[in-house]
Amino acid sequence: MGAESRVELPPDVPEEFEVYINGVRQEPGLDYRVQGRTLIFPKELAQEGKLGAMRWTSMLLGVAGTYRKHDSVDVVYKRDGRRMVATGLRPES
Q: pLDDT tens for residues 29-70? A: 999 999 999 999 999 997 655 555 655 455 566 665 555 577
Give the residue with greater pLDDT, 22 vs 70. 22
- 21: exposed, middle or buried (Cβ count in 10 Å: 0-12, 13-18, 19+): buried
DSSP 28: B
Q: Give the pTM.
A: 0.76
Residue 18, pLDDT above cutoff 90: yes
Percentages of the chain per state (helix, strand, coil), in multiples of 5: 10, 40, 55
User: What is the pLDDT, as a whole number, of residue 3?
Assistant: 87
Question: Which domains are assigned to the chain?
Answer: 5-89 (2.60.40)
- Say what percent of the chain tops pLDDT 70: 73
Do residues 79 and 70 lie in contact, with contact meaning Cβ atoms separated by under 8 Å?
no
